[in-house]
Chain A
């Protein structure tokens, strides 16, 4: 049921993804602000299928050299490729950043016991500026294998980027910067090198007061 309705290939389901800022208010209280968030509830048969986006429309926003989006897509499998448009919530209202933690958490599910490698590339004008590679082992739980990347610290580049972005005076200026900022996440099977999920993230700032929002699309070649 996940396939075609969420970020899920035939081998791996993304259950949760969030980038957040956490601040300790007092010894017992933590404030957590979500910049972006995907929390997928279990799909039902009536849920709509994802819309498709032609990968050619976004190629230039991501690295195109060896191991780039085009080469990955050619290798397939085609059901593993997604585009996520985030409306990020930058209303953190945190002035004093001392004691703040910037992190990313994500969780995946599979019917198979694998070792997964998660590569996250931050791109500016389509060129990679930083990459983080993480390896995760499965935990068997309730008849399925879960992979959890828990509170991975955001790199210095991203912390600085967010800091500058949220201090821009107007949303249109933030969106102008975000037009050339993208993230490419590739989750693969460490032992076979098979692509399990490839997610291209693009961003705008949220105009509402209801937190981060997102749309998910299938990437296809028309």
Chain B
């Protein structure tokens, strides 16, 4: 089902989605 206007933070996304990568 479509999440509708559910904030991105409340969606089932990998933890890495919220972690800005460190520069390599």
Verify that A and B bind, or say they do not.
yes
Interface residues of A (CB under 8 A from B): 51, 53-54, 56-60, 85, 87, 179, 202, 204, 206-208, 210-211, 213-215, 217
Determine the interface band of chain B, counting residues with CB < 8 A from chain A. 10 to 19
Chain B residues within an 8 Å CB radius of A210: 22-23
Would you call B2 and A59 a contact (CB within 8 A)?
A: yes
Query: In the complex, A22→B14 CA distance in Å?
Result: 34
Would you call B3 and A214 a contact (CB within 8 A)?
A: no
Chain B residues within an 8 Å CB radius of A202: 8
Chain B residues within an 8 Å CB radius of A214: 21
Query: In the complex, A48→B7 CA distance in Å?
Result: 29
Would you call B7 and A179 a contact (CB within 8 A)?
A: yes
Chain B residues within an 8 Å CB radius of A213: 20-21, 23
B18 CB to closest chain A CB (Å) equals 9
Chain A residues within an 8 Å CB radius of B12: 54, 57
0/1 per residue, B1-24, Cβ < 8 Å to A?
111110110011110110011110
